[in-house]
C-alpha cells in the first residue's frame, strides 16, 4: 500500500512491478490433485500467497427437495475464508462478499458441466481459502474446476481463470494486493473455457476506457491459457501409464492414514509412559 | 498409443465412431472426463479414471436395504437415486442393512433403476471400489475374477456399482489385492502381476 510521503511507482516508467514481475507474468502457481481422500474429488492450489483447498461431492441427491431440478443438476459452490486468511481476523460467518463469490463460482462451474446428465441432483463444491492475497476468487475457480475433473464429472472443458487489470498506469496480469490497492487500480477477475474462449466469469472493480478494456481482455485470455497448461499437467501427473509392478502403491489412502495415526498415538503413549516412569524414579530418589 | 486426456481435450480430429465419454463440437471430438484414450482405436472412446455409478440395463449390482416401508424396500445402489423393490417381488422379508444382489431391469430418464431377480445374500463381506474401475476387477473374459476366486478361495460376486461381495476363503488377502487393482487400474499387465503376487504368497505359506 502506498502511504503518504512514499513515492507512488509508475509502471510505464519503471518497466518492472513492485514484486519484480513483468507486466504479463503470473505469480508462481502450483496445483495438487486428490489431496482429500474422503471427497469425490479435490485439489489444492497455491498461487502466489493464495492457498486454496477445493472439494467436490456428488452428483448426489439434492436436499431439501425443492432445490431439485428435474431437467438438470444443481451446482452449488460454497466459498469460505478461514478466519486467519487475512491480516485482520475475518468473521467466519458468511458475509455479503462470501455469498456473492459462491454465487458467481456456482454459475461459472455450471457452464462447464454437462448438467443435463444428472437430473434431480446436486454437485456440491466447497472452496476454503487458507491464505489470501488478491485474486482468491480466481484461485478458487481454478481449484474447483480441477477438483471437479478429479471427481470424474463429465465436463465440456476445464475452467481457467486469472485476474487482470490496471495499476500504476499500466495494464497488468494477475494483480497482487499492493497493486489492487493502487490509487488507479482496476481489477478484472476473468474465467474462460480455454477451448472456445467462452467467458464464464467476468467482474470489474473500477473504470476502464474502451481501448484499455480490449487490452485487458486480450491479456487476460493469454494468462488463462498459461493457467490451463498448469491445470492440465497437474491432472495428468497423477496417472502415469505403463506396466504395474508388485512394489506399486496399493492405494487405500484412508486406511494407511488410520494406520499411521494409530502408530503415532502408540508412540506418543509410549513416550508418556516413559516420562511418567522417569518422573516417578526422580520422586523416589 | 494410450494417452491420458483431461476434460475438453481433443480425442480425435478425424471422423471416428463415437464411443463413451466424448462429445462433438466444431467437427472435432473432445473428451468429457479425465480418462484414458486409445489414439489408434476404431472408436473415439475415453475410459474414465474416476466417477460415480450410472445404472445401465442388465447390470448385475449389489445393493443394501436402506428403508423398509409397507409396500417394499428402498435399496441403496451406490448411485445418486435409491431404487425400490416391491414386497411382491421378494420371496423373503428384508431388513435395513441386508445385502441383496439384483439385476437392473430398466433405467428411466431420471436415471432411476428398476431392479429384478433380487436375492438376499447370506453373510459375507462387502468391499467398496470406485465403480469405473470395476471392469479391471473382472478382466477380459472374467480372467481376473477367476484368478481372484482361485487364489483366495473365496466366493466372489462383483456388482457393477462398485461393490464386491465375498464370503469364505482369505478375505484379508482379497481386500489387499482388490485395493491394489483399484489403485493401479490405469496400468497394464495387471492380471499377470496379480498371478505372480498370488504365487509368492502361496510360497510364503
Structural domain including B159 reads: 125-204
Determine whether B199 is exposed, middle or buried from the number of CB atoms within 10 Å of its CB (0-12, 13-18, 19+).
exposed
Query: Could you give the 3-state DSSP secondary structure of residue B73?
Result: strand
Please, how many CA atoms are within 13 Å of residue A139, restricted to the half-sphere of its CB? 32
The CATH number that applies at residue B92 is 2.40.50.140
Strand arrangement, sheet containing B155-159: B125-128, B163-167, B155-159
Q: Using DSSP, state whether A156 is helix, strand or coil.
A: coil
In chain B, which residues have their Cβ closer than 8 Å to the Cβ of A65?
none
Stretch (H or E) spanning A179: helix A177-180
Residues A156, B7: C-beta atoms closer than 8 Å: yes
Chain A residues within 8 A of B133 when measuring between CB atoms: none
Would A245 be classed as within a structural domain?
A: no
Whether B137 and B197 map to the same domain: the answer is: yes
Is the separation of the CB atoms in B168 and B152 below 8 Å? no
Structural domain of A279: 252-285
Average pLDDT over residues A211-237: 94
Q: Which residues of A touch B (CB under 8 A)?
A: 40-41, 58-61, 70, 112, 114, 118-121, 149-158, 193-196, 231-232, 235-236, 239, 241-246, 248-252
Q: Final residue of a domain: which of B120, B151, B169?
A: B120
Question: So what's the pLDDT on residue B205?
Answer: 52
Domain end residue (candidates: B74, B99, B120): B120
A142 in a domain, yes or no? Answer: yes
Q: Is position A4 within any domain?
A: no
Residue B146 lies in a domain: yes
pLDDT digits (tens, 9 = 90+) for A50-59: 999 999 998 9
Contact status, residue B100 vs residue B120, Cβ threshold 8 Å? yes
CATH at residue A136: 3.30.230.70
Is the domain of B74 the same as that of B103? yes
As for the ipTM of the complex, it is: 0.87
Q: What is the number of structural domains in chain B?
A: 3
Task: Decide if A1 contacts A178 (C-beta within 8 A).
Answer: yes
pLDDT in tens, B108-157: 888 888 998 988 999 889 999 999 999 888 988 888 998 888 888 889 99
Q: How confident is residue A250, by pLDDT bands cut at 50, 70 and 90?
A: low
Residues B158, B194 within the same domain: yes
What lies within 8 Å, CB to CB, of A30 at 6+ separation is A45, A46, A47, A230, A234
Of the candidates B3, B50, B176, the beta carbon closest to that of A151 is on B50
- DSSP one-letter code for A28: P
Domain boundary among B69, B103, B120: B120
Let me know: does A223 contact A26? Beta carbons within 8 Å: yes
- Which pLDDT tens digit goes with each residue over A6-15? 678 888 888 8
Q: Tell me how far apart the alpha carbons of residues B136 and B143 are, in angstroms, rounded to a whole number.
A: 10
What integer pLDDT is reported at residue A174 of this predicted model? Answer: 92
CB-CB neighbors (< 8 A) of B24 in chain A = none
Residue A40 and residue A155 in one domain: yes
Clarify whether residues A46 and A184 are in a common domain.
yes
- CB < 8 Å from A in window 16-55 of B: 21, 23, 25, 30, 32-34, 36, 48-52
Q: Do B179 and A40 touch (CB under 8 A)?
A: no
Inter-chain touch A154–B21, beta carbons under 8 Å: yes
Confidence of residue A93 (pLDDT cuts 50, 70, 90): very high
Beta-carbon contacts below 8 Å between A and B: 119
A229 and A206 in one domain? yes
Which among B48, B52, B184 has CB closest to A244? B184
The answer to whether residue B53 sits within a structural domain is no
Specify the 3-state DSSP secondary structure of A36.
coil
Return the beta strands (E) in chain B as ranges: 2-5, 10-12, 17-18, 22-25, 28-31, 35-38, 43-44, 46-48, 60-68, 72-76, 83-86, 99-107, 113-120, 125-128, 155-159, 163-167
Are B133 and B184 contained in the same domain? yes
Residue B204: the pLDDT is 55
* Same-domain check for residues A148 and A231: yes
Nine-digit cell string for A129: 481459502
Q: Is B116 a domain residue?
A: yes
Residue A33 placed within a domain: yes
Residues A260 and A229 in one domain: no
The larger pLDDT score, comparing residue A151 to residue A264, is at: A151
pLDDT tens for each residue of A118-135:
999 999 999 999 999 999
Average pLDDT, chain A: 88
pTM listed for this prediction: 0.86
Looking at the fold, whether A205 and A98 belong to one and the same domain comes out as yes
Residue B99 sits in the same domain as residue B141:
no
* Domain count of the fold of chain A: 2
Give chain B positions within 8 Å (CB) of A244. Answer: 184, 187-190, 193
- A247 part of a folded domain: no
Give the 3-state secondary structure of residue A190: strand
| Domain assignment present for A184 | yes
Q: Between residues A3 and A79, which one has the greater pLDDT?
A: A79
Task: Check whether residue B139 and residue B193 sit in a common domain.
Answer: yes
Task: Please tell me the predicted confidence (pLDDT) of residue A157.
Answer: 94
- Give pLDDT, residue A252: 54
- Grouping H, G, I as helix, E, B as strand and the rest as coil, residue B168 is coil
H helical segments located in B100-170 = 134-138, 143-152
Lowest mean pLDDT among A80-89, A191-200, A268-277: A268-277
Taking CA atoms, A107 is separated from A74, A78, A104, A141, A160, in Å, by 10, 12, 5, 11, 14
Residue B21 lies in a domain: yes
Nearest CA in chain A to B130: A40
Q: Are residues A132 and A258 in the same domain?
A: no
Amino acid at each position: 500500500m502506498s502511504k503518504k510521503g512514499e513515492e507512488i511507482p509508475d509502471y510505464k516508467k519503471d518497466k518492472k512491478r513492485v514484486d519484480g514481475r513483468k507486466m504479463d507474468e503470473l505469480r508462481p502457481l502450483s496445483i495438487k490433485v486428490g489431496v482429500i481422500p474422503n471427497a469425490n474429488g479435490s485439489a489444492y492450489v497455491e498461487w502466489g500467497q493464495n492457498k486454496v483447498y477445493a472439494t467436490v461431492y456428488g452428483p448426489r441427491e439434492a436436499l431439501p427437495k425443492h432445490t431439485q431440478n428435474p431437467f438438470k443438476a444443481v451446482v452449488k459452490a460454497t466459498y469460505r475464508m478461514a478466519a486467519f486468511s487475512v491480516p485482520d481476523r475475518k468473521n467466519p460467518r458468511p458475509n455479503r462478499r462470501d455469498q456473492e463469490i459462491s454465487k458467481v463460482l456456482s454459475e461459472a462451474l455450471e457452464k462447464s458441466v454437462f448438467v443435463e446428465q444428472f437430473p434431480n441432483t446436486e454437485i456440491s463444491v466447497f472452496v476454503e481459502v487458507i491464505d489470501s492475497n488478491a485474486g482468491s476468487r480466481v484461485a478458487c475457480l481454478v481449484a474447483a474446476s480441477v477438483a471437479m475433473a478429479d471427481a470424474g464429472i463429465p465436463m465440456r472443458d476445464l475452467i481457467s481463470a486469472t485476474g487482470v487489470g490496471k495499476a500504476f498506469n499500466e495494464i497488468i496480469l494477475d494483480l497482487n494486493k499492493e497493486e489492487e490497492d493502487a490509487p488507479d487500480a482496476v481489477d478484472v477477475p476473468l474465467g474462460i473455457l480455454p477451448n472456445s474462449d467462452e467467458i464464464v466469469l467476468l467482474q470489474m472493480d473500477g473504470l476502464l476506457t474502451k481501448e484499455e478494456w480490449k487490452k485487458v481482455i486480450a491479456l487476460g485470455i493469454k494468462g488463462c491459457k498459461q493457467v490451463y497448461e498448469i491445470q492440465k499437467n497437474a491432472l495428468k501427473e497423477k496417472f502415469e501409464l505403463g506396466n504395474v509392478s508388485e512394489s506399486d502403491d496399493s492405494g487405500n489412502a484412508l486406511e494407511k492414514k488410520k494406520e499411521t495415526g494409530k502408530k503415532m498415538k502408540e508412540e506418543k503413549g509410549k513416550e508418556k509412559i516413559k516420562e511418567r516412569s522417569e518422573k516417578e524414579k526422580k520422586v523416589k530418589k | 498409443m494410450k494417452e491420458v486426456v483431461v476434460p475438453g481435450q481433443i480425442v480425435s480430429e478425424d471422423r471416428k465412431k463415437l464411443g463413451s465419454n466424448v462429445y462433438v463440437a466444431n467437427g472435432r471430438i473432445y473428451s468429457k472426463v479425465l480418462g484414458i484414450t486409445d489414439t489408434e482405436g476404431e472408436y473415439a472412446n475415453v475410459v474414465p479414471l474416476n466417477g460415480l455409478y450410472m445404472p445401465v440395463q442388465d447390470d448385475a449390482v449389489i445393493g443394501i436395504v436402506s428403508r423398509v416401508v409397507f409396500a417394499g424396500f428402498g435399496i441403496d445402489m451406490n448411485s445418486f437415486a435409491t431404487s425400490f423393490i416391491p414386497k411382491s417381488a421378494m420371496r423373503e422379508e428384508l431388513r435395513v442393512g441386508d445385502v441383496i444382489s439384483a439385476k437392473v431391469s430398466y433405467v428411466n430418464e431420471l436415471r432411476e433403476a428398476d431392479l429384478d431377480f433380487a436375492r438376499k445374500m447370506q453373510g459375507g463381506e462387502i468391499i467398496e471400489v470406485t465403480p469405473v474401475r470395476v471392469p479391471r476387477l473382472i478382466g477380459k473374459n472374467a480372467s481376473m475374477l477367476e484368478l481372484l476366486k482361485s487364489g483366495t478361495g473365496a466366493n466372489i460376486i462383483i456388482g457393477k456399482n462398485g461393490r464386491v461381495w465375498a464370503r469364505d476363503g482369505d478375505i484379508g488377502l482379497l481386500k489387499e489385492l482388490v485395493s491394489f487393482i483399484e489403485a493401479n487400474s490405469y496400468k497394464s499387465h495387471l492380471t499377470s502381476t496379480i498371478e505372480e503376487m498370488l504365487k509368492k504368497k502361496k510360497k510364503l505359506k
